[in-house]
Structure 1
Amino acid sequence: MGNLNNSLKMLFILKSGGVIKVKDIAKRLEVTEKQVRRYKETLEEFFNIESISGPSGGYKLVGGYFPFKEILTEEEVNLLKEVIVSLDSNYIENNPKIIKAIEKINYTILNGEDHESCEQIIPYSRVKNAGIDIQKISEEMYKSILDQVEVIIVYKDNSGKCTERRVQPYQIFTYKGERYLIAKCLLRKEVRFFKLRRIESYIITSVKFEKDIDVKALIKEYKTNSIGIFGGKKYNLKLEISYPMANIIKERVWVENQEVIELNNKILFKASMIGGPEVISWILSMGKSVKVLEPEDLRIEIHNILKEMIKNI
């Protein structure tokens, strides 16, 4: 009950504008600052929340437009008011009208102020060529999510190779400033994260599908002990980190199982972390402030990467 409603409360605190200190949000919600950071991670799936560093830093909602009246019915607006007042998460979970209203809110987040209502019908089997607008594809993919229809995409992978995929779209997800389509890929028969800017073209079909995957649970699983959201190799890390970088590391929750031990002028960071290349990138971002103690195979891998980097300089 608390997590959902506190996330909504935090959203409206940020909606007031300006930079809000984390400690002030925590005080108003009567939770810890660590919990506030978790709420931020949840809200960032749909909203752009900027982290401002420094003594006057905190969180700032970027682009706080909430066009509820343009897209929600009067009944749905009243239902939302009832939920916020009741603070009862069971009411949300057992009320399909509320769930539908929240889906519509998520849709409006993807739209600008001048865009038409989601009631506009987007024709099926319309092909979009390369050079598409990210905002436009976000809107059309979200429409396909609401309608629960399959989409055929031509997708360019990391190597630049394009393949045609038939997917069942579940959610639009923002991660590190990039928008992704979370969808079940019928070619690979598993859930995949498709970066919107790499979708070369697409066809929204009229083929309906039933959702059989709990995407929220999947994202939560990925987030729990992963430095990213894409899975990868698992490492049992033991890092020795010097100040001032140690301050940055110990002040944040990177994975739920992390352990930080204070040493003389440094910290010992221990965690089981999933992420493959993202774990390596994270460690390299600490520069000379970090020493990899364990595992040995990761030490060797980073050493080889650095040797190759030196060759290219």
Structure 2
Amino acid sequence: MKKIERILAVIVLLLENDVITTSELAEKFDVSKRTVFRDIQTIENAGFPISSSYGRNGGISLIDSFKLRSLSFTEVEKKLILDCLVINEKIIGETIEPSVLKEKVQLLANVSLEDQSLSLGSPTVHRPAIEHHIYAINKQIRQAMNQKLKAVITYIDGQGEQTTRTVEPHELGLFNGSWFLRAYCEKRQAFRFFKVTRIRSFFLTSEKFNLRIDDKIDLTPSKEFQIKLEFKKVMLGKLYDYYLYDELQIFEDKIRVHFSSSSIEETATYLLRFHGNVVVLEPDELKQEYTRIVQKINNSLNDDI
């Protein structure tokens, strides 16, 4: 080991340990005590305050105040932590631990919330009233995960069927504007994803569980559809809200959009926001699904007249 590598290793050991003896250092690096003393002298000359003590529990150490400074955060780092805590609160709702930590960091960094450089509105696609419901459920889910407690949930699946299940919450995730709980379901004897908006009740039990290792399923579907759309030129401003520049072909009187999507159903529903000012060019599956949705809406309106 080169001298510089050994000296850096000694500094790390001094930061990690309250006291360490020269004999321990000599044995660890397979050098003489004389070499250790020379290394300590080099470290001192570099500005590290070394303290020596004698006796049964004696040895060398870095003074505590220096360790504190070494492990302290810079003002920029404190600001970044505070920004992250504010965003965390916006995403998952206010909870006790992050709120207390936020107050501590504010005091340490000597900044107020008015000084924040990052902000976040709604993190999901849901209305504020629905988000309040999500926050309440997510708070219980996080408690269950932190304490590793099983929970009994009432859940409405995609077919509208209601079931009651005992689950072991493992992970909470935000995907495409919706919250999902990944949990081991005792009913199915396997891991399942549960959309939080469809969890109608969540009750903690007193029964503990151990974390399970599973082949984690990605929520992102593997199949991608190539979507081609056509819009009138006047839609350009709105299109930049949803598409990248490289996904647009701008002509004199029209705009064509080419992008990929993993869901025909979601894409067709999403196209309704353009109020009929869109022509589906490809694929045929999207043309059919979009036509079906529009016809269903028209039939519903005609039935009400």
> Normalising by structure 2, what TM-score?
0.50
**Structure 1 equivalent of residue 146 of structure 2:** 146
Q: 2:182 and 2:249 mapped to 1: Cα distance?
A: 37
Letter in 1 for 2:171: Q
Deviation digits for residues 121-160 of structure 1 (CA, Å, limit 9, x no counterpart)? xxxxxxxxxxx96544332210111223332312123444
Aligned length: 201
1:242 counterpart = 2:228 = no
Letter in 1 for 2:100: E
**Structure 2 equivalent of residue 287 of structure 1:** 275
Deviation digits for residues 189-234 of structure 1 (CA, Å, limit 9, x no counterpart)? 344132246323434352323253597x946xx3xxxxxxxx5974
Q: 1:198 and 1:169 mapped to 2: Cα distance?
A: 13
Does the 8 Å contact 2:181/2:195 carry over to 1?
yes
Q: 1:198 and 1:153 mapped to 2: Cα distance?
A: 7
- Identify the match of residue 263 of structure 1 among 232, 246, 251: 251
Q: 1:10 and 1:279 mapped to 2: Cα distance?
A: 37
Q: Which has the higher contact order (CA 8 A, sep 6+)?
A: 1
Offset, 1:277: 2.4
Does the 8 Å contact 1:180/1:194 carry over to 2?
yes
**Structure 2 equivalent of residue 161 of structure 1:** 161
Offset, 1:309: 1.8
Q: 2:268 and 2:145 mapped to 1: Cα distance?
A: 34
Identify the structure with the greater helix proportion.
2
Q: 1:272 and 1:286 mapped to 2: Cα distance?
A: 18
- Identify the match of residue 273 of structure 1 among 257, 261, 267: 261
Q: 1:269 and 1:282 mapped to 2: Cα distance?
A: 14
Identical pairs, percent? 21
Does the 8 Å contact 1:232/1:276 carry over to 2?
no
Q: 2:137 and 2:95 mapped to 1: Cα distance?
A: 19
Offset, 1:66: 8.9
Offset, 1:283: 1.4
Offset, 1:290: 1.1
Deviation digits for residues 51-71 of structure 1 (CA, Å, limit 9, x no counterpart)? xxxxxxxxxxx9899964736
1:302 counterpart = 2:290 = yes
Offset, 1:276: 3.7
Question: CA 1:180–1:305 in structure 2 vs 1: closer, same or farther (change >3 Å)?
Answer: same
1:1-313 pair list within 5 angstroms:
9=80, 12=83, 46-48=88-90, 68=98, 70=100, 135-173=135-173, 179-186=179-186, 187=188, 189-196=190-197, 198-212=199-213, 218=218, 222=220, 231=221, 234-252=224-242, 259-313=247-301
Deviation digits for residues 278-302 of structure 1 (CA, Å, limit 9, x no counterpart)? 2111112212221100001221222
- Structure 1 segments (4+ residues) deviating >6 Å: 62-67
Does the 8 Å contact 1:258/1:272 carry over to 2?
no
Q: 2:258 and 2:290 mapped to 1: Cα distance?
A: 18
**Structure 2 equivalent of residue 31 of structure 1:** none
Deviation digits for residues 39-94 of structure 1 (CA, Å, limit 9, x no counterpart)? xxxx6xx4547xxxxxxxxxxxx98999647369x8xx7xx99xxxxxxxxxxxxx
Letter in 1 for 2:292: N
Q: 1:65 and 1:152 mapped to 2: Cα distance?
A: 22
- CA-based RMSD: 4.6
> Normalising by structure 1, what TM-score?
0.49
Please say which structure displays the higher CA radius of gyration.
2
Offset, 1:179: 4.8
Q: 1:253 and 1:47 mapped to 2: Cα distance?
A: 29
Q: 1:245 and 1:205 mapped to 2: Cα distance?
A: 56
Q: 2:137 and 2:168 mapped to 1: Cα distance?
A: 15
Structure 1: runs of 5 or more not aligned: 16-42, 50-61, 82-131, 223-230
1:301 counterpart SS class = helix
